[in-house]
Amino acid sequence: MLTVGRSSALVALLLSFLILGAALVDASPQRGNGRNRGGNRGGNRGATRGGTRGGNRGGNANGNAGGNNNNAQPQTAQEQAAQIPGGISQATDGSTILDMTVDINNLPIRFKVSAAAADFTTLTDVTGATQDPNTPGTQGLNVLLHGDGGQSFFDFPNQGVLSNLAGVAVLAPDPNLFWGGGQGLDRTDGVAHAQAVNDLILDVLPQVLSFNSSNVFFTGVSGGALLMSGFFVPAHGANFAGNGVLLNCGALAPQVDVVDAATVGATTRIHFQSTQDELASLQQSIPEAIVAYEQIAADAGLSAAEVNALQTVDNTPNGGHCEFDGRDFVDGIQLIADNFATIMQGGDGEVNGIGNVLTGVVGNEQLVFAGGA
């Protein structure tokens, strides 16, 4: 594991790569079914099924797979994930995926970055890397936080470089792979986890990849969306002013004070995406989050029309939790990931199978749901 502190990121990264070099070289590329959706799309589906619906149900059920020792303790989802090797592999668009772990504020932060090989720094073991550390680049980032259990980390639905955004996925540093820890809507480690994500982007990733730090977008899936909306955006959103966050199947009103609320409210693009059969708890928390963020923007001086240009919402898909295609969790998340630019980067909002998802939040705060568990 690499250990990187805020005040000595470069030195620690150099020293740690000497320790970890062999591990990165020996790690087998994770190619799954040939599409390399995060390396193990099918293989990890039962082990790390994401979303608050699944939690650890699949992961812990397989804790003793392959063994007959009834006295063995079931492995946590985090322990199972650690058995899946990182290293270097190829994304669906032909770009390079680097999967590695660093220590940030005493938390193990595993992340994947997908970009052209030449855009990685020479501190990495990526063949063809040409960049010096801390070299600004032209491409931005789309940083994804998975749902409870980690499925979307391994699927890596935002992998590759799409609309000039390099895909990044981060694994929650929690035994259950819950972003913010805790359970349900109570994310007891939200402050620490949000700080770690902030430090990863500002301190660690510049040592690994050349990118434009003024063009960083975010995607939250289920539990990852709770961490994003409840903790990360209010505490750190001003560090990424003028960009945005796509909140899939989950949202919380800010759980901490909003730092530089005027900047967050006036510049942050937010889209809330849900379904008709959303989880009952989220049917309550998502509208609460919409109201809260709409108020932050209004307090920043934005008119109703200006708020609607920045904040949009949709829950028209006839599916369950995260089933945006009306059928499946994984495919639903992939559908939205494939349409990130259409939704978040000035597109027309037309998503195949859903229609136009860019409905302004003003006057549409109280979503109407058909059901849900």
Instruction: Flag whether 366 is in a domain.
Output: no
- Could you give the percent of the chain with pLDDT greater than 70? 81
CA dihedral 115, 119, 122, 125 (to 10 degrees): 20
CA dihedral 24, 25, 30, 36 (to 10 degrees): 90
The enclosing domain of 34 has a CATH number of 3.40.50.1820
Q: How far apart are alpha carbons 66 and 324 in whole angstroms?
A: 35
How many other CB atoms are there within 10 angstroms of residue 8's CB atom?
Answer: 13
pLDDT value of residue 138:
96
Angstrom CA distances, 272 to 6, 83, 224, 264, 366, stand at 32, 34, 13, 16, 12
Instruction: Flag whether 35 is in a domain.
Output: yes
Q: What is the pTM of this model?
A: 0.84
316: left (phi over 0), alpha (psi -120 to 50) or beta: alpha
pLDDT value of residue 81:
97
pLDDT tens digits, residue range 183-233? 999 999 999 999 999 999 999 999 999 999 999 999 999 999 999 999 999
pLDDT tens digits, residue range 254-294? 999 999 999 999 999 999 999 999 999 999 999 999 999 99
Maximum separation of any 2 CA atoms in the chain, in Å: 64
Q: How far apart are alpha carbons 156 and 159 in whole angstroms?
A: 5
pLDDT value of residue 72:
78
Domain count, the chain: 1
Instruction: Flag whether 369 is in a domain.
Output: no
pLDDT value of residue 137:
97
Name the token pair of 299: 């307090």
Instruction: Flag whether 372 is in a domain.
Output: no
Instruction: Flag whether 178 is in a domain.
Output: yes
The residue type at 373: A
Helix (H, G, I), strand (E, B) or coil at 311: strand
Instruction: Flag whether 371 is in a domain.
Output: no
Instruction: Flag whether 367 is in a domain.
Output: no
Name the token pair of 170: 């981060």
Instruction: Flag whether 238 is in a domain.
Output: yes
How many other CB atoms are there within 10 angstroms of residue 109's CB atom?
Answer: 23
- Give the domain range for residue 296: 2-61+71-360
Q: Is the pLDDT score of 57 beyond 90?
A: no
Name the token pair of 207: 């040592």
